[in-house]
Amino acid sequence: MTLARPPGSKWPNERFILTAAAFEFVVANLLYYRNAYPTVPLVIMWAKNGAREPLASVTAKLYEAALTRQVATTTAVECRDRPHFRGAKTPAPDDIFAGLSGICDTWAPLGPPLLIPAASTVPTLILAGVIDPVAEPHESRSIAEIIGSNAQWIQFPEVGHNVRAFSPCARRIVSDFIAQPERALDVGCALHPLPLQFMKAPRQQ
């Protein structure tokens, strides 16, 4: 789908081709932070119905947000920590960093293997967002299992990345953990997702 640059946008070109892979990246970015969730069904509907103008507006905003990031530094870190982007290996199609495949071989050296303190005696709190497209819950849970009984792994439904920023429950749990790390935490609030009110398309006149 060809999208025109919205007025006032910092897009470098007059036109942008929204491929299936690019749209996947748009949705993954919307899933990254919970405050964008209300727009997800609407954006999918726009794509299905070929609504180019609102799609262009959302895509342009994500592009402008990306301009504020240190892309080179992020690429170096990802290339350092993710060996599957090297050589002839093909990343999974749902990997939002899959575009780094073919870049990492010459961008940054591969770092040492991940070190996880097995059977650690240090109390460790691990928070996981069920919809996190980057740090998926099964990854953090496996780390908690390696650390052992002193790790507390807590999963939050309907939350993506940066759980503490978008969940008052998570903030309270972190505060309680810091105050008394040896004490069992009350995590009942994590079982109840925060209410979501999805945006609706305006009615046609």
Choose the final residue of a domain: 80, 107, 134.
Answer: 107
Average pLDDT over residues 157-164: 88
Please check whether residues 12 and 27 belong to one and the same domain. yes
**Token representation of residue 44:** 């999918």
96 within some domain: yes
What is the rounded average pLDDT of the residues 154-162? 90
Determine, yes or no, domain membership for 203: no
pLDDT digits (tens, 9 = 90+) for 25-45: 888 888 877 888 889 999 999
**115 in any annotated domain:** no
Percent of the chain scoring above 70 in pLDDT: 92
Residues of the domain holding 183:
124-191
21 Cβ contact partners less than 8 Å away, ≥ 6 residues apart: none
134 and 167 in a single domain? The answer is yes
**Chain segment 167-194, per-residue pLDDT in tens:** 999 999 999 999 999 888 999 999 888 7
Domain boundary among 52, 82, 107: 107
88 pLDDT tier (thresholds 50, 70, 90): low
Question: How many folded domains does the chain comprise?
Answer: 3
pLDDT in tens, 105-128: 888 899 998 888 898 999 999 999
Where is pLDDT greater, at 67 or 15? Answer: 15
Say if residue 19 is in the same domain as residue 76. no
Within-domain flag for 200: no
Percentage of residues of the chain with pLDDT beyond 90: 39
Q: Answer yes or no: is 118 within a domain.
A: no
Q: Confidence class of residue 4 from pLDDT cuts 50, 70 and 90?
A: very high
Residue 114 lies in a domain: no
- Residues 184 and 137 occupy one common structural domain: yes
Tell whether 78 is covered by a domain.
yes
29 and 85 in a single domain? The answer is no
Q: Mark whether 186 and 128 lie in a shared domain.
A: yes
**Residue 179 and residue 146 share a domain:** yes
- How far apart, in whole angstroms, are the C-alpha atoms of residue 12 and residue 133? 27
Residues 135 and 79 occupy one common structural domain: no
